[in-house]
Amino acid sequence: MAKIKGIQIVKPEQLQIIEMEKPQIDEKNNVLVKMKAAGICGSDVGIYHGTNAAATYPRVIGHEMVGEVVETGPGATKVKVGDRVIIDQVTACGHCYACRIGRPNVCQHLAVRGVHIDGGFREYIAVPDKDCYLLPDNLRYEDAVLIEPTTIAIQACSRAQIKEDDEVLIMGMGALGSRMLSIAKLSGAKIIVADIVDEKLEEALAAGAHHAINLLKENIDEKIKEYTTDAYGPTLSIDCACTKDSLGTLIRIAGNASRVITMGFSVTPTEVTNFGITSKELDIRGSRLQNRKFQEAIDLVKAGKVDLDHKISHTFHFLDAQKAFDFNETRDPSIRKIVLTFDD
């Protein structure tokens, strides 16, 4: 059997380059994709550090994955050899309660590529053709990686039922927060962003946010009163920071009868009170992965409503994955999105 190289998290804090068998297509996984680029997501960092409660080890990580179709097999009609594609990371059973009501992203037997089963940090991957989506023609592979976090933002805004008359707070303006802003602003809602890095806040204002709050320099409670109508508080809050205190903060400052979207996977306890939720009759809604949102994201890119061009801040060859993760640990303020590339 031919061998390929992959990046595996053997156990928390241990990343290694491994040799593994080159995938073979079959009746189920009837498309072979040569990887071209794959993004490093916060959840990948969580798997590396052992703080992602969903992950199993050892694991070839990577779920933001794009590449070129190099072989197709029986029943593959959606794509052909030479197509440039992005791969859906969700695999579901199709028959549990969640699947039956149209929410396979939280399937009882969910298996996410790069989390529960091996993902895209390897030279080739075999997948069903139904999980492949054609990339816009003029989008670079490394930029196309951002389609996946865009689907996460679309899912969260769908769960939030965002409306034009909402006053929205997005907490955290990293790679996910910036994608969230790009989708949330399409609703026409007023958007407030919060972060600890001035440069990220300035970029958010330039990208369409109405107000920005530096959490290290300003009092968020006071600023929220200033920036929302009648000092009401946000009618929708989205936690893209997912820190120990972020959810509790959003519940505290939320307006009555509003919605709070949580997306984090940390199992570190956070302080949340029944009174904080019940007294305002808040809707606390989880949003996980995405529910068949790839084509919607791609259509928004094609229509010019979402811009992904040159939003990647750093690239590393995939065999330098350890260097990429080490660089991410520096928390350099220039970091927006790190992508691994696979071409020589």
Q: Give residue 23's identity as a one-letter amino acid code.
A: P
In a domain, 157, yes or no: yes
> What whole-number distance in Å separates Cα of residue 294 and Cα of residue 133?
7
66: CB partners within 8 A, 6+ apart: 35, 36, 37, 38, 84, 85, 86, 87, 135, 141, 144, 145, 147
Looking up residue 85, the CATH number of its domain turns out to be 3.90.180.10
Tens of each residue's pLDDT in the chain, 344 residues: 799 999 999 999 999 999 999 999 999 999 999 999 999 999 999 999 998 889 999 999 999 999 999 999 989 999 999 999 999 999 999 999 999 999 999 999 999 999 999 999 999 999 999 999 999 999 999 999 999 999 999 999 999 999 999 999 999 999 999 999 999 999 999 999 999 999 999 999 999 999 999 999 999 999 999 999 999 999 999 999 999 999 999 999 999 999 999 998 888 888 899 999 999 999 999 999 999 999 999 999 999 999 999 899 999 999 999 999 999 999 898 999 999 999 87
84 and 130 belong to one structural domain: yes
138 and 222 belong to one structural domain: no
In a domain, 48, yes or no: yes
139 and 164 belong to one structural domain: no
At 232 the pLDDT is 98
Q: How many domains does the chain have?
A: 2
At 264 the pLDDT is 86
| Contact call for residues 211 and 194 (beta carbons, < 8 A) | no
In a domain, 241, yes or no: yes
Burial of 206 (0-12, 13-18, 19+ CB in 10 A): exposed
327: CB partners within 8 A, 6+ apart: 314, 316, 335, 338
Looking up residue 257, the CATH number of its domain turns out to be 3.40.50.720
> What whole-number distance in Å separates Cα of residue 98 and Cα of residue 96?
6
> What whole-number distance in Å separates Cα of residue 183 and Cα of residue 153?
6
In a domain, 296, yes or no: no
In a domain, 316, yes or no: yes
In a 3-state reduction of DSSP, which class is residue 273?
coil
Q: Among 254, 286, 318, give the residue marking a domain's end.
A: 286
165 and 267 belong to one structural domain: yes
17 and 70 belong to one structural domain: yes
9 and 135 belong to one structural domain: yes
| Contact call for residues 162 and 184 (beta carbons, < 8 A) | yes
Q: Which residue has the tokens 């059997």?
A: 1
83 and 139 belong to one structural domain: yes
128 and 64 belong to one structural domain: yes
| Contact call for residues 305 and 298 (beta carbons, < 8 A) | no
How many C-beta neighbours within 10 Å does residue 133 have? 21
Strand-pairing partners, residue 127, are 31
85 and 215 belong to one structural domain: no
Q: What letter would DSSP give residue 337?
A: -
At 343 the pLDDT is 87
In a domain, 291, yes or no: no
At 287 the pLDDT is 98
Q: Which domain holds residue 278?
A: 152-286
At 74 the pLDDT is 86
Q: Is the Cα dihedral 219, 221, 222, 223 positive or negative? A: positive
Q: Give residue 156's identity as a one-letter amino acid code.
A: A
Could you tell me how far CA 255 lies from the centroid of its own chain? 26
Q: Which residue has the tokens 């006053």?
A: 167
40 and 116 belong to one structural domain: yes
69 and 111 belong to one structural domain: yes
At 196 the pLDDT is 96
In a domain, 174, yes or no: yes
160 and 281 belong to one structural domain: yes
In a domain, 74, yes or no: yes
